[in-house]
């Protein structure tokens, strides 16, 4: 392979590496958001259950 071809391949690989890192960053951010949304949903359900239980015990 010629020097010019090797440089082109190296540049393309570097660009691809940057794109893959960006995709990885996005995937981690989305996963963190989904986990946070799931935790919020669970917390809201626990809060609702705690209030319902308190009402059953005479809390007003």
Burial of 3 (0-12, 13-18, 19+ CB in 10 A): exposed
Q: What is the pLDDT confidence band of residue 1, given thresholds at 50, 70 and 90? A: confident
Rounded-to-integer distance, Cα 37 and Cα 13, Å: 36
Rounded mean pLDDT of 20-43? 98
- Name the residue ranges covered by the structural domains of the chain: 1-60
Rounded-to-integer distance, Cα 17 and Cα 21, Å: 6
Q: What is the pLDDT confidence band of residue 60, given thresholds at 50, 70 and 90? A: confident
> Average model confidence (pLDDT) for the chain?
97
Q: Which pLDDT score, from 0 to 100, does residue 42 have?
A: 98
In percent, how much of the chain has pLDDT > 70? 100
Question: What's the N-to-C CA distance of the chain in angstroms?
Answer: 81
């Amino acid at each position: 392979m010629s020097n010019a071809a090797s440089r082109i391949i190296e540049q393309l690989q570097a660009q691809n590496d940057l794109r893959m890192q960006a995709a990885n960053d996005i995937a981690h951010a989305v996963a963190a958001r989904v986990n946070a949304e799931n935790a919020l949903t669970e917390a809201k359900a626990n809060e609702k259950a705690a209030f319902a239980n308190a009402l059953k015990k005479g809390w007003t």
